[in-house]
Amino acid sequence: MSFLTGTLRAAGALVILVSASALGLYGCGGDDGTAATSASAPPRIVSHEQFVEKSKEVCVKWKEKINKGLKETYRQRTKETGEPEGAVGTIETMHTVIVPAMRKQLEEMEAVGLPEGEANAAEEFWDAIRRMTYEIEGEGIFAWTRESTVAPIHRLGKPFELQNCIYF
């Protein structure tokens, strides 16, 4: 047997082994309820008016909660440092107030349901909020103040009168 023939046989065996492994992994997870097609409830469909009204209620609620969280942090940092209120703690609040609140707000907005005939547009809006949350989590105040982070939310929220929904 030549060197070339042995090399080709080894390569062929490797291809078969990798293929079998891939097929074996492909079958994993199907019966334990973790597959993407498992019994998750489909989203509710609501009227445009219901979607806007309930989403606005969620926005108002979370703007109030965020304002309260910011004020509490700023007051605490003023007591601790003697600096003017708001001068210390802004960067900290990105992770302690803003990101957790945005996640909870998004969960509540998704629970409202999707507007009939506009489901994709609503999901794009939610996805923009999700992306903004990830960016703020990773980059803090820099992402919070960057126009390219904020602009998609303004644009995608406008058809639902939610362009100012996220706290800025």
Phi first, then psi: give them for residue 36, nearest 5 degrees: -60, -25
Domain ranges for the chain, please list them. Answer: 45-160
Map residue 155 onto helix, strand or coil.
helix
Tens digits of per-residue pLDDT, 26-82? 444 444 444 444 457 888 999 999 999 999 999 999 999 999 999 999 999 999 999
- What pTM was estimated for this model as a whole? 0.72
